[in-house]
Every structure is written in C-alpha cells, then in structure tokens.
Amino acid sequence: MPRDIPAPAATGNPLRLLTLEQLRRRTSMKWRTYPEDVLPLWVAEMDVPLAEPVARAVRDAVDLGDTGYPAGTAYAEALSDFARRRWDWDGLAVERTAIVPDVMLGIVEMLKLVSGPGDAVVVNPPVYPPFYQFVGNMGRKVVEAPLGADGRIDFGVLEDVFRQVHNCAARPAYLLCSPHNPTGAVHSAEELARVAALAQAYGVRVVADEIHAPLIAAGARFVPYLSVPGAGNGLSLMSASKGWNLAGIKAAVAVAGPDAAQDLARLPEEVGHGPSHVGILAHTAALRDGGAWLDALLAGLDDNRRLLAELLAESLPAVRWAPAESTFLAWLDCRALDLGDDPAAVFLERGRVALNSGLPFGTGGAGFVRLNLATSPELITEAVRRMAAALD
C-alpha cells in the first residue's frame, strides 16, 4: 500500500539524506556484492552520510598528512566519557584499556589471553556468524547454548553448558553478544549479573562483544557487562563502528575489568599497531562530538521499526517479528511462509531483495532472515513490497 513519506529535505534524519542513486555509487560490500537490480538490505552497513564531526576529523587528518601509526589514549578517554554520559557508567578506566584493530580481531586476542587451543568457547545462537568462523579458525571449539524461545538467554541451558565445559575444557570462555546480534535483545542488569555469577561458579571467562551498545531503542537501557557485580574478571570489546557507520576505518577498544587487568597487560604490543590511526581519530570524534547525530539516527531507527511492523502486518502477516530493543537489524521469523530453511534465497531469487540468511547464525537460524533497517523508509517499503511479491 503506498504511503505518504516526507522528502529527505524535510528532516534531519541521517537515514533520509541519501538517494538510491547516490548509494549505488558506493563501492563497499553492501552495494557491490549483488547486481544493480537487487535491493541490498543485508550486511551491517548503514545508508547514511558521515556525521560532520567524523568527516571533519578525517578531512583534517588527510589535509595534515596525519596518516601514520596510532598512539595515545584519546579513543579510550572519549569512550569513557561517552559511557559516563550515555550509560551512567564511571567504571571504564582508561588504564585498563587497549586499542585493537576491530572488535572481532579484538575478540580473538582476548580469547588468546584467557583460553588455549582446543578449549571451549560458548556462544548463544542464533548469533553473529563470525563468532563461529573466527573462534574455529583460532583452534577453539564452539559450544552452543541456544537462546530461549523468547530470544533471550536461557539460563537453564547456559548453566548446563557451563557445567559441561567446566568438566571438559582447561580454560573455557563465554563469548557474550551484548546487545545481541541478530535478535536485538538488550540484556538487563539482572541477566548480566546472573551471567557473571554462573561464569564465576564454573570457572568460565567472559568476553563481551558490545559493539552495538550505542544503538539502543527508545525505552531500552544498555548495561555494560563490566558494570555488574561479579564481572570483574571479564573483558569487553567496544567501538564506534556500528553507531556511526565506520566499519571501513577500523578501530576498537578492549576494556578489562579490575580483575582482568593483568590479562590485558599481556596483550602483545604489536596488536596495538593494527588499528587505523585515521580510524581512531574518526571514532574519537564520533564519541566526543557525534551525540546529536547519533540521537537523530536513533529516532530514525525507531521510526523505521514502527514502519516495518506496519508493513509486515499489511503485506506479510505470517512473518513474526517484534521490534528489537537495539541494533539496526530485524530478525524475521519466516517459517510460516513454507519457504524452507533459507527464505533469504527465495527473496533474492524471486524478489530481488538481499537479506541475510538465518542459517549461518547457528542453531535457531533456519527459516529466519535478517533485514537491515538502517536505510530510508522508501527502501524498506520497497523491500517489503518485493518480499511479498516473491510469494505470488
């Protein structure tokens, strides 16, 4: 059903500032993987221009030729200030941080610090597919503790798995996705405290991927894992990457709890040479000066969640989805459409819309697709129209 959508010039929403023609000039993965007749709403890139403070930081670096090796703690300082303002958390101590190339490579380095070859790494599927790929490639064994039917941590299952890996692995670890990708669940303080208590009871070290922390929906509250009781020996990876669309200028910060400081101190010096210096400048500017831009983005994402719910109710009522508490991703249950285990393949072939298949997300992913909401209302509307047409 057509709907009246204001022109981009009528709003400061970053998601409404670029046309499809402008987006197709991009050369990144999202816009170059598929032919031009395919509408890409898959990989986690946002269809936004850079926030002006970020663009200015990058321009200044280029003008100065400031493109050397990274140095200093400005990124960690900006992140600490951001955590205080946004999450009311004073516990991000700059002296317990390190810069790392990006969140996934940071996770690899943290797991090297707290586990050994052949050790178990627990994950909560359906979950971000690189968890499987990176953990497997570094010689650890992925052990699944699937989410419950409500898309949240099933603590009975988690405790059973922790007991299992405690008995079988020398140094087991738990790779916590918080907020969760793809479901968008924001773990509560109570849930995270239960995680910490179980990890302590069974000798499991927690490494938290908190990359989506800036992207919290209205009415939800992000709680840093290291802020809850009992999480002192945990490690966290944070970044401005997802919040400000900076995946192409890589950088991230590893944060240690008070009892994990000695672990982080063993991080090889060369790891800190891996982040992009320009990336660190951009991420620092985002955290320090990009708050107004982020607020406009979050409002736009809230609007897009409401829009998607309306469109699905109108055109694809058999698809089950509850608007997420975080991220710019929608985890759609398409099992009632009888499209098999991989509905994304059907939507691509018949509808020419690219979504992420649920299968690589592990147990619980069959019959699901992941849709990227970080685009204009017009493209979301067209994507749902194409998805519905694929069923005809």
CATH number at residue 266: 3.40.640.10
Percentage of the chain modeled with pLDDT above 90: 96
Average pLDDT over residues 82-95: 97
For 324, the token pair is 């997420």
Based on the fold, state whether residues 172 and 112 are members of the same structural domain. yes
Is residue 140 included in any domain, yes or no?
yes
Question: Does residue 330 fall inside a structural domain?
Answer: yes
Residue 11 pLDDT exceeds 70: no
Task: Give me the number of domains the chain comprises.
Answer: 2
Residues 21 and 87 in one domain: no
In a domain, 61, yes or no: no
pLDDT (0 to 100) of residue 169: 73
| Contact criterion met (CB below 8 Å) for 210 and 178 | yes
Q: Does residue 189 share a domain with residue 135?
A: yes
Residues 216 and 233 in one domain: yes
Please check whether residue 350 lies inside any domain of the structure: yes
Residue 360: pLDDT above 60? yes
pTM of the entire predicted model: 0.95
- 250, 267, 289: which is the final residue of a domain? 289
Residues 214 and 341 in one domain: no
Tens of pLDDT, residue by residue over 270-290, are 999 999 999 999 999 999 999
Domain boundary among 289, 324, 340: 289
Do residues 245 and 326 share a domain?
no
In one letter, which amino acid is 325? E
Q: Is residue 220 part of a domain?
A: yes
Pick the last residue of a domain from 248, 271, 289.
Answer: 289
Instruction: Give, in order, the Cα–Cα distances in Å from 374 to each of 205, 206, 327.
Output: 33, 30, 9
> What pLDDT is recorded for position 345?
98
Shared-domain flag, residues 36 and 182? no
Residue with tokens 């993987």: 33
Burial of 162 (0-12, 13-18, 19+ CB in 10 A): buried
Q: What is the pLDDT of residues 30-43, one digit of tens each?
A: 999 999 999 999 99
- Residue range 209-235: average pLDDT? 98
Do 141 and 178 have their domain in common?
Answer: yes
* Summary count for the chain: helices (H), strands (E): 14, 12
Residue 2 has pLDDT above 60, yes or no: no
User: Encoding tokens for residue 172?
Assistant: 């087991």
Residue 1 placed within a domain: no
Q: Are strands 205-209 and 252-256 parallel, antiparallel or unpaired?
A: unpaired
Of 359, 343, 342, the residue nearest 351 (C-alpha): 343
pLDDT, mean of residues 135-150? 97
Same domain, 23 and 166: no
Predicted pLDDT at 194: 98
Q: What is the 3-state secondary structure (H, E, C) of 133-173?
A: HHHHHCCCEEEECCCCCCCCCCHHHHHHHHHHHHHHCCCCE
Q: Using DSSP bridges, classify how beta strands 235-238 and 141-144 pair: parallel, antiparallel or unpaired.
A: unpaired
Residues 172 and 201 in one domain: yes
Residues 205 and 309 in one domain: no
126: preceding bond cis by omega (within 30 degrees): yes
Backbone angles phi, psi at 368, to 5 degrees: -110, 160
80: tokens are: 């600490």
Domain that holds residue 227: 66-289
Residue partners of 85: CB distance under 8 A and separation at least 6: 291
Q: Is 99 helix (H, G, I), strand (E, B) or coil?
A: strand
Query: Rounded CA gap, 375 and 366, in Å?
Result: 25
pLDDT(82) > 70: yes
Pairing label, strands 353-354, 39-40: parallel
Is 124 inside a domain boundary? yes
Instruction: For the chain, list the strands marked E by DSSP.
Output: 39-40, 97-100, 120-123, 141-144, 173-177, 205-209, 235-238, 252-256, 329-333, 353-354, 356-357, 368-372
Do 146 and 71 have their domain in common?
A: yes
Name the amino acid, one letter, at 138. Answer: M
Which domain CATH number covers 13?
A: 3.90.1150.10
- pLDDT, average across residues 371-377: 98
Mean pLDDT, the chain, as a whole number?
96
| DSSP H helices in 24-127 | 29-32, 52-64, 74-87, 103-114
In a domain, 60, yes or no: no
Between vectors from CA 105 to CA 142 and to CA 78, what angle results, nearest 5°? 125
Cis peptide upstream of residue 214 (ω within 30 degrees of 0): no
